[in-house]
């Protein structure tokens, strides 16, 4: 794991450098209390409907678009060995479309604004960096990790 991480460190640094936002853009992005760990394993289903959300350990105040990007990184990226890491753009379009439609029907901040929508890809990179950070922390903290699971 160490060698793999070091071998890709320049790429990781490049993603970090390209994932920054100007203060003017950040000022136009709403921030709220976020779940910050939204994925299928933290949801309760009844049929095909989500009826509950679990695991509030990572709740924090952050940019709304980051929470959506983190959900996209978790749920719209392939975790299958054959195409591991492939981004499923059709799922991203569907997920964001559902979010936008639901937000438009609710009282509150409404759908993602234009600045948030333009920021989505850089926020997706930030969300992926967040997942990478979590994986590295868990990998080194757990003495019984299976290298293959984390390397994949």
For the chain, which residues make up each domain, given as ranges? 2-25+64-151
Question: How would residue 84 be classed by pLDDT, with cut points 50, 70 and 90?
Answer: confident
Question: Are 49 and 104 contacting, i.e. CB atoms less than 8 angstroms apart?
Answer: no
Give pTM, 2 decimals. 0.82
The DSSP annotation for 66-93 comes to HHHHHHHHHHSB--SSTTTT-B-HHHHH
Q: What is the pLDDT of residue 149?
A: 62
Q: What is the pLDDT of residue 150?
A: 62
Compute CA distances 33 → 41, 94, 119, 141, whole Å. Answer: 20, 24, 19, 28
């Amino acid at each position: 794991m160490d060698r793999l991480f070091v071998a890709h460190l320049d790429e990781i640094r490049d993603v970090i450098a390209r994932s920054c936002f100007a203060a003017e853009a950040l000022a136009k992005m709403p921030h709220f209390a976020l779940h910050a760990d939204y994925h299928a394993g933290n949801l309760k289903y009844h049929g095909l409907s989500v009826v509950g959300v679990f695991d509030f350990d990572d709740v924090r105040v952050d940019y709304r678009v980051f929470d959506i990007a983190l959900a996209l990184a978790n749920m719209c990226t392939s975790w299958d060995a054959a195409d591991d890491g492939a981004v499923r753009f059709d799922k991203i379009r569907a997920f964001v479309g559902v979010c936008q439609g639901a937000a438009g029907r609710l009282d509150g901040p409404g759908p993602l604004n234009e600045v948030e929508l333009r920021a989505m890809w850089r926020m997706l990179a930030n969300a992926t960096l967040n997942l990478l950070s979590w994986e590295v922390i868990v990998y080194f903290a757990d003495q019984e990790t299976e290298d293959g699971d984390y390397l994949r």
